[in-house]
A and B are shown apart, each in its own frame.
Chain A
């Protein structure tokens, strides 16, 4: 009885915190449905997305690395406000890529800041794979 109860509470807490594997699977399915040749996400393509420079929303040429730096195990800094940003790499910051809600929020915001548009499921999956492998 008690075990069932604990299990139920834990499982609901787990789904509340957001399931990252589930999110990656969703991105995978979306990428697959728009391109039947899609074979899986690539850290290499993600790296390119991360480092390529664009005229950002603020009218300045930036890339993701402008704030997150070239080594995502290091602290970053918001180049506009000066606020420090904790390392993006899960290897340096265990909290990264654990909360789907946060991941979605920052992907949405930061793609718009750098690329002036939302990322596609393929791009999001690639860049998350790059981050996870760094």
Chain B
């Protein structure tokens, strides 16, 4: 009888661990419940560390997390940050414009982001379907998949954007 209990406890612990979500999924479900879960490649490691250590005052909102979730998400963000080894192409270019002396928290305030959005009229940005530049997927239809190419662009009440 005792053996059965020990065995079943071990089995249930294993099952629970298997049922646990991946760090990426946890990031998307936790951070993505208030805004799009921006790809970690957009910011360097130091930015994510600062972000995760100031969640109680996250752009003037309380976004605090439980201790374990915070740990898992921080490690996911750091591992995939813009200055990690896993960054290619557009994201590499994006990061090359971030000064080593700065620790940006808003992606929309980095140089390359601003450069790419400078021609967009304000009325397209502040309309209710978009709200702000933080709302990537309002126009970048495949933003959640990390695709920001021009042909995936569709601005509400305007249409395709040709630079």
Task: Please give the residue numbers on chain A whose beta carbons come within 8 Å of chain B beta carbons, in ascending order.
Answer: 1, 4-5, 8-9, 12-13, 16, 57-59, 78, 80-83, 101, 105, 108-110, 112-113
Contacts and interface: CB of A to CB of B under 8 A. Distances in A.
Given A78-B34, A83-B34, A105-B66, A58 B61 contact: yes
Contacts of B57: 57
Given A12-B16, A16-B16, 9 more contacts: A1-B4, A13-B15, A57-B61, A81-B34, A83-B35, A109-B61, A109-B63, A109-B64, A112-B64
30 contacts: A1-B4, A5-B7, A5-B11, A8-B5, A8-B12, A9-B12, A9-B15, A12-B9, A12-B12, A12-B16, A13-B12, A13-B15, A16-B16, A57-B60, A58-B60, A58-B61, A59-B60, A78-B35, A81-B34, A81-B132, A81-B134, A81-B135, A82-B138, A105-B64, A105-B65, A108-B64, A109-B62, A109-B64, A112-B64, A113-B61
Interface residues of B, number: 29
A12 B36 CA distance: 33
A57 B61 CA distance: 7
A109 B56 CA distance: 8
Interface of B: 4-5, 7-9, 11-13, 15-16, 33-36, 56-57, 60-66, 130-132, 134-135, 138
Nearest to A60: B60
Interface centre among A16, A59, A109, A110 (most CB of B within 10 A): A109
